[in-house]
A = this chain, B = another copy of it.
Amino acid sequence: MKRTVFFISDGTGITAETLGHSLLAQFDTVDFDQITIPYVKDEEKVRDAVSRINKAAMSDDMPPLVFSTVINDDIRVMLSQSKAFMLDIFSSFLKPLEGALGAESSYSVGKSHSIVDDQSYKVRIDSVHYALDNDDGARTRHYDMADVILIGVSRSGKTPTCLYLALQFGIKAANYPLTEDDLDDLNLPKALREHRSKLFGLSIEPERLAAIRTERKPNSRYASINQCESEVRGAEAIFNRFGIPYVNSTHASIEEISTKVIEAAGIKRRLA
Protein backbone atom coordinates (compact mmCIF):
# COMPACT_ATOMS: atom_id res chain seq x y z
CA MET A 1 0.00 0.00 0.00
CA LYS A 2 1.36 3.44 -0.94
CA ARG A 3 0.32 6.72 0.67
CA THR A 4 1.55 10.23 -0.04
CA VAL A 5 2.55 12.32 2.96
CA PHE A 6 3.12 16.09 3.00
CA PHE A 7 5.04 17.98 5.66
CA ILE A 8 3.83 21.56 5.44
CA SER A 9 5.16 24.49 7.41
CA ASP A 10 5.44 28.25 7.34
CA GLY A 11 9.02 27.69 8.54
CA THR A 12 11.69 25.12 7.70
CA GLY A 13 9.38 22.10 7.99
CA ILE A 14 11.89 20.31 10.20
CA THR A 15 9.53 19.98 13.19
CA ALA A 16 6.80 18.52 10.97
CA GLU A 17 9.29 16.14 9.35
CA THR A 18 10.81 15.02 12.66
CA LEU A 19 7.48 14.25 14.29
CA GLY A 20 6.08 12.79 11.06
CA HIS A 21 9.04 10.46 10.53
CA SER A 22 8.75 9.16 14.11
CA LEU A 23 5.04 8.51 13.72
CA LEU A 24 5.24 6.94 10.26
CA ALA A 25 8.00 4.58 11.50
CA GLN A 26 5.25 2.93 13.57
CA PHE A 27 3.51 1.76 10.37
CA ASP A 28 5.85 -0.66 8.71
CA THR A 29 3.25 -2.19 6.41
CA VAL A 30 2.67 1.07 4.54
CA ASP A 31 4.93 2.56 1.88
CA PHE A 32 5.07 6.35 2.19
CA ASP A 33 5.96 8.86 -0.50
CA GLN A 34 7.14 11.90 1.48
CA ILE A 35 7.11 15.50 0.32
CA THR A 36 8.12 18.59 2.33
CA ILE A 37 6.72 22.01 1.45
CA PRO A 38 8.42 24.65 3.64
CA TYR A 39 7.88 28.40 3.90
CA VAL A 40 4.15 28.29 3.07
CA LYS A 41 3.56 31.88 4.07
CA ASP A 42 1.40 33.48 1.38
CA GLU A 43 -1.67 32.75 -0.67
CA GLU A 44 0.27 31.70 -3.75
CA LYS A 45 2.30 29.11 -1.86
CA VAL A 46 -0.72 27.68 -0.05
CA ARG A 47 -2.66 27.44 -3.33
CA ASP A 48 0.25 25.58 -4.85
CA ALA A 49 0.42 23.24 -1.84
CA VAL A 50 -3.32 22.54 -2.00
CA SER A 51 -3.09 21.75 -5.68
CA ARG A 52 -0.20 19.30 -5.10
CA ILE A 53 -2.17 17.64 -2.28
CA ASN A 54 -5.28 17.30 -4.45
CA LYS A 55 -3.26 15.88 -7.34
CA ALA A 56 -1.80 13.23 -5.02
CA ALA A 57 -5.28 12.44 -3.69
CA MET A 58 -6.41 11.84 -7.26
CA SER A 59 -3.48 9.64 -8.28
CA ASP A 60 -3.39 7.65 -5.00
CA ASP A 61 -7.18 7.44 -4.92
CA MET A 62 -6.75 8.00 -1.18
CA PRO A 63 -6.45 11.17 0.89
CA PRO A 64 -2.78 12.12 1.46
CA LEU A 65 -1.65 12.71 5.02
CA VAL A 66 -0.65 16.27 5.88
CA PHE A 67 1.50 17.01 8.92
CA SER A 68 1.23 20.77 9.36
CA THR A 69 2.98 23.19 11.68
CA VAL A 70 1.47 26.25 9.98
CA ILE A 71 0.57 28.95 12.48
CA ASN A 72 -1.37 31.48 10.41
CA ASP A 73 -5.13 30.95 10.66
CA ASP A 74 -6.00 31.93 7.09
CA ILE A 75 -3.43 29.54 5.69
CA ARG A 76 -4.63 26.74 7.95
CA VAL A 77 -8.21 27.24 6.78
CA MET A 78 -7.11 27.08 3.14
CA LEU A 79 -5.07 23.92 3.78
CA SER A 80 -7.98 22.28 5.56
CA GLN A 81 -10.04 22.62 2.39
CA SER A 82 -7.67 20.30 0.50
CA LYS A 83 -8.51 16.63 0.03
CA ALA A 84 -6.11 15.60 2.81
CA PHE A 85 -6.23 13.93 6.17
CA MET A 86 -4.82 16.80 8.26
CA LEU A 87 -2.70 16.41 11.37
CA ASP A 88 -2.50 19.95 12.66
CA ILE A 89 0.40 19.65 15.08
CA PHE A 90 0.48 23.10 16.64
CA SER A 91 -3.25 23.52 17.10
CA SER A 92 -3.43 20.10 18.81
CA PHE A 93 -1.03 21.18 21.52
CA LEU A 94 -1.17 24.97 21.81
CA LYS A 95 -4.62 25.20 23.36
CA PRO A 96 -3.82 22.69 26.13
CA LEU A 97 -0.46 24.43 26.65
CA GLU A 98 -2.14 27.81 27.00
CA GLY A 99 -4.37 26.34 29.66
CA ALA A 100 -1.49 24.73 31.55
CA LEU A 101 0.66 27.88 31.39
CA GLY A 102 -2.12 30.36 31.92
CA ALA A 103 -0.57 32.41 29.11
CA GLU A 104 -1.55 33.26 25.57
CA SER A 105 0.63 31.91 22.78
CA SER A 106 1.73 34.16 19.97
CA TYR A 107 -0.26 31.73 17.84
CA SER A 108 -3.38 33.15 19.49
CA VAL A 109 -2.25 36.72 19.16
CA GLY A 110 -1.48 36.12 15.51
CA LYS A 111 2.24 36.52 15.20
CA SER A 112 4.73 33.83 14.41
CA HIS A 113 8.11 33.30 15.97
CA SER A 114 11.32 32.55 14.30
CA ILE A 115 13.71 30.08 15.85
CA VAL A 116 16.60 32.39 15.02
CA ASP A 117 18.70 33.55 17.87
CA ASP A 118 22.12 35.11 17.31
CA GLN A 119 23.52 33.68 20.52
CA SER A 120 22.65 30.08 19.76
CA TYR A 121 23.83 30.55 16.15
CA LYS A 122 27.21 31.56 17.53
CA VAL A 123 27.33 28.65 19.98
CA ARG A 124 26.61 26.17 17.19
CA ILE A 125 29.04 27.68 14.70
CA ASP A 126 31.77 27.84 17.32
CA SER A 127 31.12 24.21 18.19
CA VAL A 128 31.21 23.15 14.53
CA HIS A 129 34.54 24.90 14.01
CA TYR A 130 35.81 23.41 17.25
CA ALA A 131 34.88 19.92 16.02
CA LEU A 132 36.57 20.55 12.67
CA ASP A 133 39.74 22.01 14.19
CA ASN A 134 40.00 19.20 16.71
CA ASP A 135 39.06 16.32 14.43
CA ASP A 136 41.08 13.13 14.24
CA GLY A 137 43.66 14.20 16.79
CA ALA A 138 44.72 17.12 14.59
CA ARG A 139 45.38 19.29 17.62
CA THR A 140 45.38 18.43 21.25
CA ARG A 141 46.23 21.73 22.89
CA HIS A 142 42.61 22.92 23.01
CA TYR A 143 41.32 19.90 24.89
CA ASP A 144 40.77 22.01 28.00
CA MET A 145 37.89 23.67 26.09
CA ALA A 146 36.28 20.37 25.08
CA ASP A 147 33.00 19.20 26.60
CA VAL A 148 33.92 15.68 25.55
CA ILE A 149 36.75 13.92 23.68
CA LEU A 150 35.65 10.88 21.69
CA ILE A 151 38.20 8.14 21.21
CA GLY A 152 38.07 4.99 19.11
CA VAL A 153 39.56 3.23 16.11
CA SER A 154 39.44 4.71 12.62
CA ARG A 155 35.86 4.77 11.19
CA SER A 156 34.11 3.97 14.43
CA GLY A 157 31.86 7.01 13.93
CA LYS A 158 33.80 9.68 15.84
CA THR A 159 33.69 12.53 13.30
CA PRO A 160 29.98 12.46 12.40
CA THR A 161 29.11 12.15 16.10
CA CYS A 162 31.24 15.20 16.99
CA LEU A 163 29.60 17.22 14.22
CA TYR A 164 26.11 16.17 15.24
CA LEU A 165 26.84 17.07 18.88
CA ALA A 166 27.97 20.51 17.67
CA LEU A 167 25.08 21.21 15.29
CA GLN A 168 22.22 19.75 17.29
CA PHE A 169 23.30 20.54 20.83
CA GLY A 170 26.06 23.16 20.62
CA ILE A 171 28.46 20.79 22.38
CA LYS A 172 32.22 21.12 21.82
CA ALA A 173 33.46 17.63 20.96
CA ALA A 174 36.99 16.75 19.93
CA ASN A 175 38.03 13.32 18.72
CA TYR A 176 41.22 11.33 18.80
CA PRO A 177 41.96 8.13 16.90
CA LEU A 178 43.48 5.17 18.71
CA THR A 179 46.36 3.99 16.53
CA GLU A 180 48.03 0.62 16.31
CA ASP A 181 50.79 1.74 18.68
CA ASP A 182 48.27 2.67 21.37
CA LEU A 183 46.35 -0.53 20.76
CA ASP A 184 49.42 -2.74 20.91
CA ASP A 185 50.64 -1.65 24.28
CA LEU A 186 47.13 -0.92 25.66
CA ASN A 187 48.20 2.50 26.73
CA LEU A 188 46.41 5.79 26.76
CA PRO A 189 48.11 8.26 24.38
CA LYS A 190 49.98 10.93 26.28
CA ALA A 191 47.83 13.79 24.94
CA LEU A 192 44.76 12.18 26.51
CA ARG A 193 46.11 11.33 29.95
CA GLU A 194 45.41 14.68 31.59
CA HIS A 195 41.84 14.73 30.19
CA ARG A 196 40.71 11.35 31.51
CA SER A 197 37.39 12.69 32.81
CA LYS A 198 36.41 14.00 29.36
CA LEU A 199 37.16 10.81 27.45
CA PHE A 200 34.39 8.78 25.91
CA GLY A 201 34.88 5.68 23.80
CA LEU A 202 33.14 4.49 20.64
CA SER A 203 33.28 0.81 19.88
CA ILE A 204 31.85 -1.10 16.94
CA GLU A 205 31.44 -4.72 15.86
CA PRO A 206 34.50 -5.86 13.86
CA GLU A 207 32.32 -7.16 10.97
CA ARG A 208 30.59 -3.81 10.61
CA LEU A 209 33.91 -1.95 10.84
CA ALA A 210 35.40 -4.18 8.12
CA ALA A 211 32.40 -3.46 5.87
CA ILE A 212 32.74 0.31 6.39
CA ARG A 213 36.50 0.25 5.79
CA THR A 214 36.11 -1.97 2.73
CA GLU A 215 34.00 0.77 1.10
CA ARG A 216 36.93 3.09 1.58
CA LYS A 217 39.91 0.81 0.87
CA PRO A 218 38.81 -2.52 -0.59
CA ASN A 219 41.07 -5.54 -0.02
CA SER A 220 43.43 -3.62 2.26
CA ARG A 221 44.97 -4.82 5.49
CA TYR A 222 43.17 -1.81 7.08
CA ALA A 223 39.80 -3.29 6.06
CA SER A 224 40.56 -6.94 6.82
CA ILE A 225 38.47 -8.66 9.45
CA ASN A 226 41.58 -9.75 11.36
CA GLN A 227 42.86 -6.20 11.60
CA CYS A 228 39.43 -4.86 12.61
CA GLU A 229 39.00 -7.55 15.27
CA SER A 230 42.40 -6.86 16.76
CA GLU A 231 41.88 -3.06 16.80
CA VAL A 232 38.43 -3.29 18.36
CA ARG A 233 39.66 -5.72 21.00
CA GLY A 234 42.54 -3.37 21.81
CA ALA A 235 40.28 -0.32 22.00
CA GLU A 236 37.83 -2.02 24.36
CA ALA A 237 40.71 -3.22 26.51
CA ILE A 238 41.91 0.39 26.82
CA PHE A 239 38.39 1.60 27.69
CA ASN A 240 38.08 -1.07 30.37
CA ARG A 241 41.60 -0.64 31.73
CA PHE A 242 41.22 3.13 32.23
CA GLY A 243 37.54 3.09 33.22
CA ILE A 244 36.48 5.06 30.15
CA PRO A 245 32.74 4.82 29.46
CA TYR A 246 31.90 3.73 25.92
CA VAL A 247 29.03 2.87 23.63
CA ASN A 248 28.84 0.47 20.73
CA SER A 249 27.98 2.37 17.56
CA THR A 250 27.01 -0.69 15.51
CA HIS A 251 23.44 -0.42 14.23
CA ALA A 252 22.96 2.85 16.10
CA SER A 253 21.95 6.06 14.36
CA ILE A 254 24.07 9.19 14.77
CA GLU A 255 21.26 10.58 16.96
CA GLU A 256 21.40 7.52 19.18
CA ILE A 257 25.19 7.54 19.52
CA SER A 258 25.16 11.29 20.27
CA THR A 259 22.41 11.17 22.87
CA LYS A 260 24.00 8.14 24.54
CA VAL A 261 27.28 10.03 24.78
CA ILE A 262 25.50 13.02 26.33
CA GLU A 263 23.64 10.85 28.79
CA ALA A 264 26.50 8.59 29.81
CA ALA A 265 29.04 11.42 30.03
CA GLY A 266 26.57 13.72 31.78
CA ILE A 267 27.22 16.63 29.39
CA LYS A 268 25.04 19.71 29.44
CA ARG A 269 23.30 20.69 26.20
CA ARG A 270 24.32 24.24 25.33
CA LEU A 271 21.27 24.94 23.18
CA ALA A 272 17.84 25.03 24.77
Contacts and interface: CB of A to CB of B under 8 A. Distances in A.
A63 to B, nearest CB: 7
Contacts of A100: 63, 65, 85
A22 interface: yes
A115 B164 contact: no
A14 B259 contact: yes
A116 B253 contact: yes
Contact of A26 (B18, B38, B107): B107
Given A22-B115, A38-B259, A121-B254, A27 B163 contact: no
Contacts of A87: 93, 96-97
A56 to B, nearest CB: 14
Given A18-B15, A93-B87, A27 B115 contact: no
A256 interface: yes
A18 B14 contact: yes
Interface residues of A, number: 78
A29 interface: yes
A41 B59 CA distance: 41
Nearest to A128: B160
Given A23-B90, A87-B96, A103-B27, A115 B255 contact: yes
Contacts of A19: 15, 18-19, 89, 93
Contacts of A11: 256
Contacts of A28: 106, 113
A203 interface: no
A22 B15 contact: yes
Contacts of A122: 215
A168 B168 CA distance: 10
Contact of A25 (B21, B113, B124, B255): B113
B115 A259 contact: no
5 contacts: A11-B256, A65-B101, A87-B93, A121-B253, A164-B167
Interface of A: 1, 3, 11-15, 18-19, 21-23, 25-30, 32, 34, 36, 38-39, 63, 65, 69, 71, 85, 87, 89-90, 92-94, 96-97, 100-101, 103, 105-107, 113-118, 120-122, 124-125, 128-129, 132, 135, 157, 159-160, 163-164, 167-168, 212, 215, 251-256, 258-260, 263, 269, 272
Top 8 A-B residue pairs of the complex, sorted by shortest distance between their CB atoms: A26-B105, A12-B259, A85-B100, A15-B22, A18-B18, A12-B255, A128-B160, A25-B113
